[in-house]
Chains A and B, each alone.
Chain A
Amino acid sequence: MPQSTVAPAPAVCFDAVTKTYNSAQGAVQALAGVSFNIEPGEFFGLLGPNGAGKTSLISILAGLSRASSGRVSVMGHDVVHDYAAARRALGLVPQELVFDPFFTVREALRIQSGYFGVKHNDAWIDELLHNLGLSDKAGANMRQLSGGMKRRVLVAQALVHRPPVIVLDEPTAGVDVELRQTLWQFISRLNREGHTVLLTTHYLEEAEALCQRIAMLKAGRVVALDRTVNLLAGTASTMLRFKTDSALPPGLAVAARVTGRSVQLTARDAAEVEQHLATLRTSGVKVEDLEIGHADLEDVFLEIMSSTANGSSATLPKLQALAAVTP
């Protein structure tokens, strides 16, 4: 039989997406031409500060909002012209902790299944309840659940129709460690089984641990897009951490991240570490609890966000060059 040479459609495709909101204060551009693909089976992170456009982008993907221009598709289905197929392929865990107070957990999940035309779904509903630690809450009214439990139900509702693409919009905001672990174990399992996952989170250690690729948004634009390991390698890889009561010399103060007595300084190599230490010594800065470690995604994130302030991107040529590349 002849083999097809046609590449499979990306799980998610954003193509030159813009979004402008009209408000009393005038037009506000939330997205200024966002383009990237997420491949089937990827665990993909979407990061950015508040107001960067993450939720606007996800809302357009899920059909909650409409793009001002550009195209978005899920598993090859356009979210506007072929919305029914696109929405069947997508499960969204919304950021807000919303629930319908009229129904029990099981009723809510059965109703959500029914919306997608999925019949006789109790076996999968039971599996979802079990994996999310909700089995003993199946008969409880949604109003009786704690915030963390409600969050678990939101995840179950998003997965009830077995979508190939799962979108999690800050799913662990304000929830306890136990839920985070339960949730990530289950989502990771689904990802291993072939589901594509798009995650937005403020917990950068989660993105670093889970995501194979990451896009960073700022002011409605993609300012970085690469594999997570490349992002970590592409920035200053060494981190100097210490505590001090002294003022830092001006040359270091501008580059340091200071939280109370704690100071963090990035360095590209051992020579730069030595240079920092020499500067501290000659300036008479008394240092305590000195540590040298690897930079984490938070450091990358902060470096990218600060380097792209006012439209400048001079310090990150590599990341910029990679911004249009997919794996």
Chain B
Amino acid sequence: MNGVGTLFRKEVLRFWKVAFQTVAAPVMTAVLYLLIFGHVLENKVEVFPGVGYTSFLIPGLVMMSVLQNAFANSSSSLVQSKITGNLVFLLVTPLSHRAWFAAYVGAAMVRGLAVGAGVFVVTLLFAPLRLAEPWWILVFALLGAGLLGSLGLIAGLWADKFDQMAAFQNFVIMPMTFLSGVFYSVHSLPTVWQTVSHLNPFFYMVDGFRRGFFGVSDVSPWLSLAIVGTSFLGVAGITLRLLATGYKLRS
């Protein structure tokens, strides 16, 4: 196996060896969200015509799990290696910045998609779901996982201690995912909050992903694709630049 393949495999093995913590636990959390919110709101809210609230909620929870776990994988791996010092094993290798990016982001996508698939399979037990335009599901799951995996690398490079990483996760990633329409349609919000939601790129990931299930969405999936795709390219470009310059890696 070549260098980038080895790093990718090692990053996948790293989370797979603690799969209860990195895969099973987030699936359980998403199912609890579904049970509680679905039970309380099932007969009170109808976001899309003919779609029950629990069914509406499932794609949002799947996408939230994909995004949060993709971010968690690359960010926690890098910051742990930096703080414990074992990043030196990687720093002395001939691997290029592109190889680092491909391996870390690739493994983050695998974890995000594994957790997302787990949430999807388990939640199917609770509500019926159809796949109206499945290609959108694939496109937004891959792009969302890639974007958050890349963002996780930036956070891992920036953070010097676990406290800073927790701040990034709790004050940036969590609010952006929760305020992206996972639990509601932005059309149910007051106008000002609709406008704010449209400034959040996470909204377009969730909306485009949900489009794949129901065939309806708050905005055009092509607009979502353009915004999410541009965001991914922008974040990936910044990440590659930081890796190439050795930002907080090579003093």
- Give every chain B residue within 8 A of A98 (Cβ-Cβ): 84-86, 88-89
- Give every chain B residue within 8 A of A21 (Cβ-Cβ): 251
- Give every chain B residue within 8 A of A90 (Cβ-Cβ): 92
- Give every chain B residue within 8 A of A115 (Cβ-Cβ): 3, 6-7, 89-90, 93-95
Q: Scan residues 192-231 of chain B and give those whose CB is less than 8 A from a CB of chain A.
A: none
Query: Is the C-beta of B5 less than 8 angstroms from some C-beta in chain A?
Result: yes
- Give every chain A residue within 8 A of B91 (Cβ-Cβ): 62-64
- Give every chain B residue within 8 A of A274 (Cβ-Cβ): none
Tell me if B1 and A114 are in contact (CB < 8 A): yes
Tell me if B7 and A102 are in contact (CB < 8 A): no
Tell me if A100 and B86 are in contact (CB < 8 A): yes
Query: Is the C-beta of B17 less than 8 angstroms from some C-beta in chain A?
Result: yes
Given the contacts A99-B86, A111-B6, A117-B2, A66 and B93 also touching, CB distance less than 8 Å: no
From B1, B86, B88, B94, A64 is in contact (CB under 8 Å) with: B88
- Give every chain A residue within 8 A of B95 (Cβ-Cβ): 115
Give the distance to chain A from B7, nearest Cβ to Cβ, in Å: 7
Query: Is the C-beta of B250 less than 8 angstroms from some C-beta in chain A?
Result: yes
Q: Complex Cα distance A193/B9, Å?
A: 34
Given the contacts A98-B86, A99-B86, A102-B14, A116 and B93 also touching, CB distance less than 8 Å: yes
Tell me if B13 and A102 are in contact (CB < 8 A): yes
Interface residue tally on A, bucketed by range: 20 to 34
From B5, B81, B246, A114 is in contact (CB under 8 Å) with: B5
Query: Is the C-beta of A119 less than 8 angstroms from some C-beta in chain B?
Result: yes
Mark B85-112 against chain A: 1 for CB-CB distance below 8 A, else 0.
1101111111110000000000000000
Give the distance to chain B from A93, nearest Cβ to Cβ, in Å: 10
Q: Scan residues 150-166 of chain A and give those whose CB is less than 8 A from a CB of chain B.
A: 157
Given the contacts A114-B6, A115-B3, A117-B3, A102 and B250 also touching, CB distance less than 8 Å: no
Query: Is the C-beta of A84 less than 8 angstroms from some C-beta in chain B?
Result: yes
Closest A residue to B16 by beta carbon equals: A102
- B binding-site residues for A, Cβ under 8 Å: 1-3, 5-7, 9-10, 13-14, 17-18, 81, 84-86, 88-96, 246, 250-251
Further contacts, 16 of them, CB under 8 A, given A98-B89, A116-B3: A63-B92, A63-B250, A64-B88, A66-B246, A84-B94, A87-B94, A96-B88, A111-B10, A114-B1, A114-B5, A114-B9, A114-B10, A115-B3, A115-B95, A116-B94, A119-B1
